[in-house]
Structure 1
Amino acid sequence: MNEGDPFLRTFLNRNSAVAWMILESAGDGIFGLDTEGRITFTNSAAAALLGYEPADFVGRHSHSTYHYSRADGTPYPAEECPIYAAYRTGTVHRSDADVFWRKDGTSFDVEYTSTPILEDGRITGAVVVFRDISERRRFRERMSQVEKMTAVGRLAGGVAHDFNNILTVINGYCQLLLTRMDPRDPWRPMVEEVNAAGERAATLTRQLLVFSRKQEIAPRVLDVASIVAGMEKMLRRLIGEDVDLTVATPSPGRVRADPGQIEQVVMNLVVNARDAMPGGGQITIEVEEVELDAGYAAAHPGARPGPHVLLTVTDTGGGMSEEVRAHLFEPFFTTKEKGTGLGLSTVYGIVRRFDGHISVTSEPGRGTTMRAYLPRAEAGEVPAAPAPPPPVARGKETVLLVEDEEAVRRLARVILESQGYAVIEAADAREALHAIETGPAAIHLLLTDTVMPGMGGLQLAREARDRRPDLRILLMSGYTDRTLVDREPEAADLPFLQKPFTVAGLASKVREVLDRS
């Protein structure tokens, strides 16, 4: 404190040492201004926040000391300074959308209040109370990003559902055509190309469902380092000869996750790194065990303290701007001419699904480092590979098929009739209930979509069972059964078929449900 200052002596005389002790003990920065904008007193917190010793701070012209430019670096004329409005107009001014500048030239986000000082009814200056809100703002921005990604994930899941209906028709008819075409038919390669394109599109919708955390998975304990090692040869071919690849896996890195999805994380991160270096460069993949502390978790929404396996992919490319980094994990966001914009959004969805956390470090011209943290798991047994499915048996039962998408309904009917089943069609629940009440005595299976206008498939199943207690039920949807169970827990007890289904997939599932005791 500059106790020789006359203003300070007056302050002490009028307000006592106790009041000054309170001022000095405050965590917020507090300083006074005269009507010329000069700093008349300060507490230690104010001087420290701005990088000064108290004696060096008092007497300075305030605006040129800490408020000389805006956050974007443009000059901030003193005559426009809202802090001075307190003694110029006698009004209190508050703001949390400004920055103060430290002695070393760095800035911080600030929240301040500037209040006029009155002596005998006359304005003699202002007192400014301020605090550094940089961390609070960063936390809010991170939380906003988490909320935005959650909302975009819901949208992605809805888009995937609609595409799955379309792909069911495309892929289904292609498969039916291929089963009927002679291998030497000149048109067969064209149909195979259409079918292959449909399968690639189905892969994209699965990636959307991964991002929205609605894709079914088979997690088990696995070794991330072993997965990376097993992919190394393939990754070297993938990135090309002009990119050097270094793999460092000093620790095993056991996590509980789906192996196919961990492979997808590695693949997508490496492809993204390769694409960032069109002229060649260096990619480094590292796997190590780390411990995230409570401080890190508090500063990074979505992160949890505890032991983790860290997968790091670093490139020496051109890096990215803060603006690009803010949108990096959004589906369909891409800076590439031919990119889908789903690679990194898929990575984000997979990592979050397994309770992990992902961070990005990048600056223009300095490359990029992607870090995926996954909770560490204890070793566990790896399940045996499933046996190949047996040939699908045909049938003669009657199936009530309920689907509001006409093209999907027609396809399902063609598949079922080709397997020997009798099919009754209904476009909605109302038609289905009418068929149950007036149709043949023997309806063996209700095959219904879950999401339809009016009454949904689950409600239809309940009402159909009320009328025909022995009726078998099979639900189908472009969403997953996990999504359905989240909304309708009762659905967990009913068989489910995921769209887009294959010819064999539909036939085998129908037979499986009909053969249940």
Structure 2
Amino acid sequence: MKATPGRSSATAEDRPSDALQQPDGWPAPYADGEASPWIAKVLMTLPMALALLSRNGRIVIGNDALFATVGAGCRPGARPEWLVVPDDADRIAAAVRQAIDNNLGLEVLAALQNRPDDKQIITITPVPPGFGVAAIMALRDIRDRQRLEAQVAAATRMQAVGQLAGGIAHDFNNILTAVLALTDQLLERHPPGSPDHESLDEIGRNGRRAAALVEQLLAFARQQPQRQQVLELMPLIEALRPLLAQLLGQGVTLEIGGDLRNAVRADPGQIEQVIVNLAVNARDAMGGTGRVGIALRDVRAAEIAALGHRIIPHSDHVVIDVSDTGEGIPTAIAGKIFEPFFTTKPMGQGTGLGLSTVYGIVKQSGGYIFTRPGAGGVGTVFSIFLPAVPAPEKVAPPPPPQRSAAVSITGTRVLLVEDDPAVRSILERGLKRQGAEVTTAPEAMSALAHLDGEAVFDVLVSDVMMPGIDGVELASRALTVRPGLAIVLMSGFAEPPLHRAANARGVLFVAKPFALADLTAAIGEAQRATH
């Protein structure tokens, strides 16, 4: 073994002589009388990379796992510091000396010569006298552990960002609800042809654009209501082909393929949004020319561990791979691409919510998303893992989107519960203009006091997220006091379990922000459902 400049202070005379190096491999483990035969035999049977060290810190014998880990350069008589990169050599030499001289077990994190980019934990453990060796050196590959730690850290960070995004969305939805409801009222007073109609209409359009951005934030925060159903992905994605081809443009080739046995349980509209967002992201990454591939495959539970993603449960999954032939994702930003508002586009050319929306939908669907370089290092592959369910004989098409029809609520007695004063005031005025009789309450306890009294109400309209008693609990108590009462819950920030709890009680849910016509339609529908 040749000396390498910049290593530890070991001299050329310290290195093993040719007599110690056998071309056919290691010499007999106890040929020089240094190692006990039984400890050498045990060493050879262990799967971990291990070596026995002499009193002067040289390798006496190593097992096959050590040879496979360190490479052909490792020979009997070598010093451990010769096996690592120059920057780590002195620390290894000092650890070996200290462990042997002070009878002290030590661990050192170091990179090997043949694996300079991956750190190993090298443990030096002293051996009691009488075994013919002074210490045992063990090498532990921690790449899997580091990968798992990185995935857990990234997931924790994204969860924190999601909570922040959800909180912002809640507050912003309250503001937008007030803006849109007030705009609707003003538009009624200023019909088409009046001087202010066009300006008011523009306010409404911009408010709805802002609502669309908030919806993407809610998707990232995993607080956007879902209509999950059993989906066969191939027909759904094939149906998107015309739209995707139009979005990608003539310079991009689109390839869709795969053979699936399983289906998934997800919201079809949200899965479509995921595919469209990833396709548009791929188009932008390629500058308008290249190839976008969408490949579907089944992954069995037994195959999960071999994929290297330690946070995925060992169960059957369906995988969607969306690939492109762009320049790839630079390492410096790889950990940020799913964060809201992160974008590499110039100012004004992107919101930075496309990939964060994808991330939120995938997580809300119980799945995972990862990125990796494409084949040959070209482009990027986004891999989405969704829990598999048995494919049905026939999947019903998704229900068409519901439209708010004109509904008369004249004479309807409404108990309106909303903790935001501005929203409460605007909704009260709007409902009264529609002919409703409105009683307001700033929180749940006040509402319950009204319900315990003698006033008659046809509908309870309540916010969900309120201090003290939330809207779902209020609905439950209200139905106990007033069985058959129609109930509409509204919120811009509600956890899916709250939605499910509300639906289980036959309660109608309306997501903020909404137009006044949407709330009016919900009130009418809730009344019809209880009669």
The question of a shared fold, defined as TM-score above 0.5 by the shorter chain, is answered with yes
Q: How does 1:1-400 map to 2 (within 5 A)?
A: 2-3=26-27, 9-12=33-36, 17-34=37-54, 37-52=57-72, 57-64=75-82, 66-69=83-86, 75-78=87-90, 81-87=93-99, 90=102, 92-95=104-107, 97-102=109-114, 105=115, 108-117=118-127, 119=129, 125-222=134-231, 224-240=233-249, 243-249=251-257, 251=259, 255-278=264-287, 280-297=288-305, 299-300=308-309, 301-302=311-312, 305-306=315-316, 308=318, 310-337=319-346, 338-362=349-373, 366-374=378-386, 375=388, 377-383=391-397, 385-386=399-400, 390-400=405-415
**Structure 1 residues 229 and 466, CA gap change in structure 2 (3 angstroms):** closer
Tell me whether 205-214 or 79-88 shows the greater mean CA deviation: 79-88
What residue identity is the alignment partner of 1:61?
A: R
Corresponding residue SS for 1:76: helix
**Structure 1 residues 25 and 160, CA gap change in structure 2 (3 angstroms):** same
Q: Within 2, Cα distance between the matches of 1:472 and 1:224?
A: 38
Give the aligned partner of residue 14 of structure 2: none
Q: Within 2, Cα distance between the matches of 1:430 and 1:401?
A: 13
Corresponding residue SS for 1:394: coil
What residue identity is the alignment partner of 1:19?
A: I
Unaligned runs of 5+ in 1: 70-74
Unaligned runs of 5+ in 2: 1-24
2:435 is aligned with 1:420: yes
Tell me whether 503-512 or 24-33 shows the greater mean CA deviation: 24-33
2:525 is aligned with 1:512: yes
8 A Cα contact 1:283 1:313, kept in partner: no
Give the aligned partner of residue 454 of structure 1: 468
What residue identity is the alignment partner of 2:206?
A: A
Corresponding residue SS for 2:456: coil
Structure-2-length-normalised TM-score: 0.81
8 A Cα contact 1:68 1:78, kept in partner: no
- CA-CA distance at 1:409 after TM superposition: 0.4
What residue identity is the alignment partner of 1:63?
A: E
- CA-CA distance at 1:42 after TM superposition: 2.0
Aligned identity (percent) is 33
8 A Cα contact 2:277 2:355, kept in partner: yes
8 A Cα contact 2:51 2:61, kept in partner: yes
Q: Within 1, Cα distance between the matches of 2:298 and 2:452?
A: 63
**Structure 1 residues 116 and 8, CA gap change in structure 2 (3 angstroms):** farther
Structure-1-length-normalised TM-score: 0.83
- CA-CA distance at 1:345 after TM superposition: 2.0
- CA-CA distance at 1:506 after TM superposition: 0.8
8 A Cα contact 1:481 1:496, kept in partner: no
**Structure 1 residues 407 and 174, CA gap change in structure 2 (3 angstroms):** same
Give the aligned partner of residue 72 of structure 1: none
**Structure 1 residues 190 and 57, CA gap change in structure 2 (3 angstroms):** farther
- CA-CA distance at 1:128 after TM superposition: 1.4
CA deviations on 1:14-71 (whole Å, 9 max, x unpaired) are: xxx3333222222222223346543222233322321238xx521123212x2224xx
Q: Within 1, Cα distance between the matches of 2:280 and 2:398?
A: 31
Q: Within 1, Cα distance between the matches of 2:492 and 2:172?
A: 8
Q: Within 1, Cα distance between the matches of 2:202 and 2:314?
A: 45
Q: Within 2, Cα distance between the matches of 1:208 and 1:144?
A: 21
8 A Cα contact 2:417 2:440, kept in partner: yes
**Structure 1 residues 494 and 8, CA gap change in structure 2 (3 angstroms):** farther
What residue identity is the alignment partner of 2:352?
A: G
Q: Within 1, Cα distance between the matches of 2:229 and 2:452?
A: 47
CA deviations on 1:89-133 (whole Å, 9 max, x unpaired) are: 51524337433343xx5554323321345659xx98543123222
8 A Cα contact 2:258 2:295, kept in partner: yes
Tell me whether 364-373 or 325-334 shows the greater mean CA deviation: 364-373
CA deviations on 1:395-451 (whole Å, 9 max, x unpaired) are: 21332222111111012112210111121222223443454567x633333322222
Q: Within 2, Cα distance between the matches of 1:435 and 1:223?
A: 49
- CA-CA distance at 1:272 after TM superposition: 1.0
What residue identity is the alignment partner of 2:275?
A: V
**Structure 1 residues 490 and 320, CA gap change in structure 2 (3 angstroms):** closer
8 A Cα contact 1:165 1:499, kept in partner: yes
Query: How large is the Cα RMSD of the aligned pairs?
Result: 3.5
Q: Within 2, Cα distance between the matches of 1:304 and 1:288?
A: 19
What residue identity is the alignment partner of 1:378?
A: P
Q: Within 1, Cα distance between the matches of 2:399 and 2:44?
A: 70
8 A Cα contact 1:415 1:503, kept in partner: yes
8 A Cα contact 1:406 1:427, kept in partner: yes
**Structure 1 residues 343 and 97, CA gap change in structure 2 (3 angstroms):** farther
- CA-CA distance at 1:269 after TM superposition: 0.5
2:424 is aligned with 1:409: yes
8 A Cα contact 2:404 2:517, kept in partner: no
Corresponding residue SS for 1:513: helix
2:496 is aligned with 1:482: yes
Q: Within 2, Cα distance between the matches of 1:292 and 1:346?
A: 27
